[in-house]
Structure 1
Amino acid sequence: MRDLGWNEDGCEYRFIFHQRGFGCIGILAFACDSQVRLLLEEKSDTFLDYENFYDRVLKNNPRLLWASERDGYNHLYLIDLKQGLITTGNWNVKTVEHVDEEEGKLWVSAYGFWEIEGPYHLHLLSINFDGTNCRALTEGDGTHIWSWSPRSGEREFFVDSWSRVDQAPQTVIRSTASGEVQLIIDSTSTEDLKKQGWEPPERFAAPGRDGTTLIYGIITKPPNFEMNMKYPVLELIYSGPQGFFTPKSFGGYGTWARGGQVVVQMDGMGTNWRSKSFHDVCYKNLKDAGLPDRISWIKEAAKTRPWMDLTRIGAFGGSAGGDYALSALLHHGYFYKVAVSDSGSHDHRIGDLAWSEQWLGYPVDTSYEDNSNLTHVKKLRDDAKLMLVAGGMDNVVNPASTMRVVTALNRRRKDFEFFFIPEGGHNCGIGGSGYRRVRQFLQQSLGSGRDQKVIKEEVEPNC
């Protein structure tokens, strides 16, 4: 339960009730005469995404700002005696940035507001309580971050910085009222960076399993790339339903490509911040991990990129990504040949209660067993190459989850590598002491576009 406080005359106390299993949220009013009223009930046949949840009681009237995906996208509603939709469209409200009750206006961050940019770029919007005058205050094809005027209480201006994986950051000061640029602070030239040797990842979109829904991702080439060579493909995989994970802004994304593989990342069905139906694919179906969409995406990319060698494809992930890297081998071993599973959450029956129940529901049913990698280890092909990594001091995912997979694989007499780091924490194979061993395994198992030798890194990144 969560407190919403007393009404104006102090005769009724209001609170939000979250039902276990993440399928129902209610707002209840408990009166001093012991009467209870149900003010609002939000239900879903799958799950209510708490990542999108927002509520705020307005001070000067008995109305409530409330976030809901009831129309298929996350939007804001103004709740009183009747319900009113504030925001609408095939885009999602991410967070409420600021509410001005006197002016009857609010500012929100949103994904996918400009359809031409795709569904994942973040923009700042302003909108009236009655749903009118909804507009973006940020411009520029990329994902935006902003900070408000530093003087307390003033929001007359804000600093807006935006970029993409293939676009250097641009930073300006904008008017909060109009979004107009007041001052250009920095305008880094992407072309100048390329002249200095910067090779940005390539953005790529292709239909997923249904042949129509676009899946968005990036392709990173290895250093000293040559068009006439064949390169193995390494997918960095994470498909936790709580978000999306393919980078959208400027940064360094070439670390894993230094091993000589083409590195790909994309967000398949079941991940967050698309439509509700896109997200619902994960429900009681975590082992899916968007893998059918990922396979379609990689195949489509390779049609026009003959240097992608689809006979040598590997997956590497940590945490939920470790779970899905192993799932790739177990359920799609005809396509994925190599996997490194770091700190994997392979068995949700011993995982974090809230995380597991959000996506697999409550009460516990057969979906928990079906979505455990332990159930499917028999599907591991004899030619598959698997490395499991676990840290004895992991305080996020119980290392017993990996130990159970080790036991199940041993009982099936399956061949694999297991690297246990007693002092290692969560994702200890991605950085620190596990990094070198993981790189060696990938280079030995996948090879590179240059040769099949193991290349030792002189410097290992910090965990």
Structure 2
Amino acid sequence: MNKKYFLFLFLLGAFTFSTAQKKKITLEEIWGGEFRTEYMDVLRSMNNGTQYTILNTTRSPLASSLDKYDYKTLEKVETIVASSDAVPYFSSYSFSDDESQVLLATEVEPIFRRSRLGIYYVYDIATKNLVKISETKIQEPTLSPDGSKVAYVLDNNLYVMDLADRTTKQVTSDGSKGTIINGVTDWVYEEEFAFVRAFEWNSNGTKIAFLRFDETEVPHFSMDVYGKDLYPYQHEFKYPKAGEKNSIVSLHMYDVVSGKISNVNLNDPYYIPRIKWMNHPDHLSVQTLNRHQNDLKMYAVNAKDNSFSVLLEETDAAYVDIDDDLTFLDDDSFIWTSETDGYNHLYLYGRNGKLKNQITQGPWEVTRYYGYDEDNDRIFYQSVENGSINRGVYSISTNGKRKKELSVEEGTNSAAFSSDYTYYINTYSSATTPYRFTLHNASNGKLVKAIKDNSALQNKLEGYEISPKEFSTININGNDLNMYMIKPADFDPNKKYPLFMFQYSGPGSQQVANQWMGSNDYWHQHLASLGYIVACVDGRGTGLKGRDFKKVTQKELGKFEVEDQIAAAQKLSERSYIDADRTGIWGWSYGGFMSTNALLKGNDTFEMAIAVAPVTSWRFYDTIYTERYMQTPQENPTGYDDNSPFNYPELLKGKYLLVHGSGDDNVHVQNTMRMIEALVQANKQFDWAIYPDKNHGIYGGYTRLHLYTKMTNFVKENL
């Protein structure tokens, strides 16, 4: 026998034996937590910059402790407070600015995505005294800068407690469910502007600025909750759908000493998405938006007399994003992020609002702003300078010079800095490396010490059949779109495989990223082990490739994004190893809207689709999100209806699975019910599942395992 041929057979046999010994990932393992990653506990830097705190908990026995550690050694220095007979188990904490008091959260229960109710205590570190703030569950308690008082919201009213004499003063009295909210946001602000606490202490604790929401005219929404009792009941809240009335929001100032409330007249702004005190205790910054969200004004308010002036104004033909990057320096000059030059970058403004200079620039985006080291004139940020699917950590001076690469290993790097910017803890992962945590010097990025990694998980996965993500770009409709592909481990280019596409596609989003696997990635690995090729393409409208690429979908959500997915599927099907007659697509939420449209409008391209919790008409979704991209239905009716899938159910040819949770307060099950009715009246057969009382995440108990088993079976039967 030819020696080379013998060697080939030997190697082929060895490979076959090797892959045969590998285990296939199972759904039970994915949803049973078998591949759970180890994370760093959330740490908070102490004011001294050399130490940090971590909340440590145990389940059996149930206990919690707030512990202090040293950055340089990573060793525990002391326990600040621990649960005991005198101190209840606490699940989160926060310090006063001077770190004299600690706020401890107990018995916490969720309201919506970000809002919580709980019983809270204040622990005095010096005296070790523990004060219970209220016998009733409250929202958003926040200590004054000196730790002498705590402000909070109860039943839509703002309160302030004096910790020395333990007296409580009710600041507002007009709050009531469904009408007036003081100090916390309404549903749509919480969901779309991403904050709940709508009050702020000034720097010396003499004033509190707060927002008031009048949601009286906001349309009422209700959902049936089936529960386990004899009769269901209705969960009711105010939800403004596109084109409907929003809360009337107003800004107010509370003087802590006099107890007086004054109104700040800002010319009746439509939205107030951010308030932030400057370093000067009498100066407040307030960001406002018009209804179209394409004209942002930042006002400087003088709290002495409530006079105001425009500090900055930014407009855009589409919309202006809201974020938390605004930072006031010691003299109240400020750092700001903007897409003004076509990419998201950092800018420096004087305290009078005049632009000093653009700090970062280039055909790439700043993705996170970490902070400013004023002593050394260094700004720390994260960006995609190393490619739009990667993230690196950098520093730069305010004049745009002395840029340094700190953590730029190919993959995803993110940083948590000490308060004096001496150290940072870098979190790194890639598509092939699970999360790794390391301590670095902030001045030069030099590694100080390895902290934690997921080598145990990586070693475990050596025993499983894992196929690599192959990153590339694909030219679709004149754009080089980011893409990844997962092939079966025993891929044979001479065979033909079914193609199953995954996407989300929402404005500014990204799914093709060089980072460690999430649960959907493990599911895709499971499908690859069954002989499917899984691909993901980030089309037009997604993020991190500049303003124009992201905002091209303005007023036409679901048009260009769907065109790109159909064209990508067609182009991939030209490859010799893709079976063009077996192409599927799936997605969740916006991705479900997309997969439904792709199956209908691309009915000669896709043979099947799965849509989980999809929007089926933007007329049903909330004002802030929808109108940011679509304006109102009254202004843009064709933009809403031309891409609403229940308006053309007759186009359905392929196999379709539609899934929703009946308790979804975000994308209401109404979307799926209208889609079902349209398909029924078009006499189209399809599959569907409703998960009782489950919200937008559709989880709890065995729910996720059940859902993904259903989806897996649907793929196996129809693709």
Fold-level match, TM-score > 0.5? yes
* Comparing 198-207 and 288-297, the one that deviates more: 288-297
Instruction: Compute the displacement of 1:266 (Å).
Output: 2.0
Check if 1:333 corresponds to 2:599.
no
CA distance in 2, matches of 1:73, 1:218: 24
Look up the match of 2:337: 67
CA distance in 2, matches of 1:338, 1:196: 29
Look up the match of 2:495: 229
Look up the match of 1:450: none
Letter in 2 for 1:420: I
Of the three residues 507, 513, 517, the one matched with 1:251 is: 517
Of the three residues 399, 421, 429, the one matched with 1:130 is: 399
Contact in 1 for aligned 2:428/2:436 (Cα 8 Å): yes
Look up the match of 1:451: none
Letter in 2 for 1:230: K
CA distance in 1, matches of 2:607, 2:394: 45
CA distance in 2, matches of 1:319, 1:107: 34
Correspondence list, 1:189-268, <5 A:
198-210=466-478, 213-222=479-488, 224-251=490-517, 253-256=521-524, 257=527, 258-268=529-539
CA distance in 2, matches of 1:168, 1:9: 45
Instruction: Compute the displacement of 1:30 (Å).
Output: 4.5
Instruction: Compute the displacement of 1:74 (Å).
Output: 0.6
Structure 2 unmatched runs, 5+: 1-271
CA distance in 2, matches of 1:361, 1:53: 24
Correspondence list, 1:35-434, <5 A:
36-50=308-322, 52=323, 54-58=325-329, 60-80=330-350, 81=352, 82-83=354-355, 84-110=357-383, 112-114=384-386, 118-148=387-417, 153-167=419-433, 172-183=438-449, 198-210=466-478, 213-222=479-488, 224-251=490-517, 253-256=521-524, 257=527, 258-288=529-559, 290-303=561-574, 305-362=575-632, 364=634, 365-366=636-637, 367-378=639-650, 380-381=651-652, 383-428=653-698, 431-434=704-707
CA distance in 2, matches of 1:377, 1:315: 17
Identity of aligned residues (%): 25
Question: Residue 407 of structure 2: SS of its match in structure 1?
Answer: coil
Structure 1 6/251 Cα, relative in aligned 2: closer, same or farther at 3 Å?
Answer: closer
Structure 1 unmatched runs, 5+: 447-463
Letter in 1 for 2:716: Q
Contact in 2 for aligned 1:284/1:371 (Cα 8 Å): no
Contact in 2 for aligned 1:269/1:290 (Cα 8 Å): yes
Look up the match of 2:210: none
Contact in 1 for aligned 2:667/2:696 (Cα 8 Å): yes
Contact in 2 for aligned 1:246/1:266 (Cα 8 Å): yes
Instruction: Compute the displacement of 1:197 (Å).
Output: 5.1
Look up the match of 1:460: none
CA distance in 2, matches of 1:216, 1:264: 11
Contact in 1 for aligned 2:367/2:382 (Cα 8 Å): yes
Instruction: Compute the displacement of 1:3 (Å).
Output: 2.6
Structure 1 201/177 Cα, relative in aligned 2: closer, same or farther at 3 Å?
Answer: same
1:390-434: CA deviations, max 9, x gaps? 221223310011101111222222222222232443254993332
Instruction: Compute the displacement of 1:318 (Å).
Output: 1.2
Contact in 1 for aligned 2:508/2:550 (Cα 8 Å): no
User: Which structure has the larger Rg over C-alpha atoms?
Assistant: 2
1:177-211: CA deviations, max 9, x gaps? 1123345666979999779754322212122211x
Question: Residue 287 of structure 1: SS of its match in structure 2?
Answer: coil
1:118-165: CA deviations, max 9, x gaps? 21211111111122112321132111133446xxx3532334343321
1:59-80: CA deviations, max 9, x gaps? x223121111010011111122
Structure 1 341/46 Cα, relative in aligned 2: closer, same or farther at 3 Å?
Answer: same
Instruction: Compute the displacement of 1:271 (Å).
Output: 0.9
1:315-337: CA deviations, max 9, x gaps? 11111111111010122222122
Letter in 1 for 2:477: R
Question: Residue 255 of structure 1: SS of its match in structure 2?
Answer: helix
Question: Residue 137 of structure 1: SS of its match in structure 2?
Answer: strand
Instruction: Compute the displacement of 1:282 (Å).
Output: 2.3
Structure 1 247/88 Cα, relative in aligned 2: closer, same or farther at 3 Å?
Answer: closer
Look up the match of 1:461: none
* Comparing 419-428 and 131-140, the one that deviates more: 419-428
Structure 1 259/316 Cα, relative in aligned 2: closer, same or farther at 3 Å?
Answer: farther
Letter in 1 for 2:535: V
* Comparing 67-76 and 288-297, the one that deviates more: 288-297
CA distance in 2, matches of 1:434, 1:321: 16
Structure 1 30/136 Cα, relative in aligned 2: closer, same or farther at 3 Å?
Answer: same
Instruction: Compute the displacement of 1:54 (Å).
Output: 2.5
